[in-house]
Amino acid sequence: MDVPVDTEGRSGAPSHGVTGLEVYPLPGRCGVRVAGDVNAATRPVWSEVLDRLVRQDEDLVHVDMSQVTFIDVAGVTDLAMAAQSLRGGRRIVVQQPPPHVPRVLEFFWPGLGGIEVAQ
For the domain that residue 63 is a member of, what is the CATH number? 3.30.750.24
Report which secondary-structure segment, H or E, holds 69: strand 60-71
**Total number of domains in the chain:** 1
**Is 35 part of any domain?**
yes
Quote the domain boundaries for residue 93: 21-118
**Is 26 part of any domain?**
yes
**Is 81 part of any domain?**
yes
**Is 86 part of any domain?**
yes
Bridge partners of 94?
63, 117
Confidence label for 19 from pLDDT (cuts 50, 70 and 90): low
Residue 12 has pLDDT above 90, yes or no: no
| Overall pTM surpassing 0.85 (yes/no) | no
**Is 2 part of any domain?**
no
**Is 87 part of any domain?**
yes
**Is 95 part of any domain?**
yes
**Is 49 part of any domain?**
yes
Rounded distance between C-alpha atoms, residue 113 and residue 21, angstroms: 27
89-118 pLDDT tens trace: 999 999 999 999 999 999 999 999 999 999
